[in-house]
Amino acid sequence: MQDYDVVIIGAGAGGLQAAIHLGRYRWKTLVIDKGKGRTFYTPTYHNLLGYPEGVSGAALLHQGRQQAKQFGVDFMNKIVLSMEKQGDHFLITAQRRKEVIEGSAEQIDHIRARRVVLATGIMDEHPDVPNIYHYAGFSVLYCPDCDGYELIDKKVVIVGRGNGGPSLAKTLLAWTSDLTVVNIDKEKPIREDWLAFMESYGIPNYTGELDHFVGEQRETIEQVVLKDGTTIACEKVFSALGMHSKHTKLATDLGAQVNDSGYLIVDPRTKETNVAGLWAVGDVVAHSQQVMIAMGEGAQAAIWVNKSLRKDGLPEASPAYSKTP
Ligand SMILES: Cc1cc2nc3c(=O)[nH]c(=O)nc-3n(C[C@H](O)[C@H](O)[C@H](O)COP(=O)(O)OP(=O)(O)OC[C@H]3O[C@@H](n4cnc5c(N)ncnc54)[C@H](O)[C@@H]3O)c2cc1C
């Protein structure tokens, strides 16, 4: 059994920012991460203070890990399988991806933590076409708040289900009027008022399943091809498919509350969930899904984790550890 003051689950932007703060408070901190979350596969952040030319998620994560390690934070590249509460402590089990895939019971780590910060994120639903990871984040986009500006005067095909497509089209009109909507689910027809909206803005719409995208360079999709052979000219695809998964289970298994959309509810000030000792930050929490918001929440959670731990004494690394605080 390994003992830590704080375990952070997830090393995306939210988890790493919390780790940097907690390391600097001198708490014994472990970050467990299975890799390749949303921060990792964002090719360029264009809206982050200090990076006028943009910065890739992979670069931020690399820098963030190095920075946290400087302050004594440990890292474990594993999947957290389960978490339970025993008295005031959390018992966490983690395993390497390889053993999880093989269904092996070997190499399981048991970790005990006084506090946990859950920063496990969410995952987008990708359009169901071959080679999607080649395009994802480059020419297949997911977040108007992030990438709307990059669409100025571009030819954009929106892929969605039912009213999701036209609703996103309304948002994207701020940047381009060259829009086409594809409804991939014929069981979910688009409502009359949305059809009238698209007609009034000259937005063509199709209903049909996707077959494949054509695009030599990952930055540009030249054509969207449907299963019935329809070919739609394009430069960027925008997904209105929403989220495939929200990684809340480790928290909800302990009784943490989620909102109607399935995101974790936290105290707005402290970021603690309704489970004492369990904090949550980043995209897994109900908020606007932006990298700097995940970072801000990571910092805020760390501040309150520190306050809560300090009620019980000083960090072991402190020179005054043996004295009553
Ligand atoms: C294509 C794209 C472009 C974007 N562009 C922008 C932009 O321009 N500007 C902007 O502000 N935001 C942008 N965003 C949003 C931004 O990337 C996210 O808000 C941010 O990455 C969220 O960080 P996070 O730490 O909450 O989650 P993540 O970065 O997803 O990290 C979660 C981590 O937890 C790990 N994890 C999950 N479950 C477990 C488990 N059981 N055990 C161990 N580890 C686990 C995952 O593997 C992952 O590494 C974009 C998102 C996407 C997808």
**For the chain, what is the radius of gyration of the CA atoms?**
22
Give the DSSP letter string of 170-181: HHHTTT-S-EEE
Q: Is the alpha carbon torsion for 296, 299, 304, 305 positive or negative?
A: positive
117/108 Cα distance (integer angstroms): 21
* Atom 33 of ligand 1: nearest residue by CA position: 10
* Atom 26 of ligand 1: nearest residue by CA position: 282
Instruction: List residues bridging with 232 in a β-sheet.
Output: 224
Enumerate the CATH 3.50.50.60 domain ranges in the chain, comma separated: 2-123+243-323, 126-240
Per the CB < 8 A criterion, the answer to whether 240 and 164 are in contact is: yes
Give the distance (Å) from ligand 1 centre to CA of residue 187. 31
- Does the beta carbon of 248 lie inside 6 Å of ligand 1? no
Which of 77, 146, 243 is the best mutation target for the ligand 1 pocket, counting ligand atoms within 8 Å of the beta carbon and taking the most? 146
Q: Which CATH fold topology does 126-240 show? A: FAD/NAD(P)-binding domain (3.50.50)
Per the CB < 8 A criterion, the answer to whether 313 and 325 are in contact is: yes
Tokens of 211: 């077959």
Helices (H), 214-263: 249-252
- Does the beta carbon of 272 lie inside 6 Å of ligand 1? no
Specify the DSSP class assigned to residue 46: S
Per the CB < 8 A criterion, the answer to whether 40 and 60 are in contact is: no
3-state secondary structure of 50: coil
Per-residue pLDDT of the chain (325 residues; tens, 9 = 90+): 899 999 999 999 999 999 999 999 999 999 999 998 999 989 999 999 999 999 999 999 999 999 999 999 999 999 999 999 999 999 999 998 887 888 887 788 999 999 999 999 999 999 999 999 999 999 999 999 999 999 999 999 999 999 999 999 999 999 999 999 999 999 999 999 999 999 999 999 999 999 999 999 999 999 999 999 999 999 999 999 988 899 999 999 999 999 999 999 999 999 999 999 999 999 999 878 999 999 999 999 999 999 999 999 999 999 998 876 5
Give the distance (Å) from ligand 1 centre to CA of residue 61. 10
Superfamily of domain 2-123+243-323: FAD/NAD(P)-binding domain (3.50.50.60)
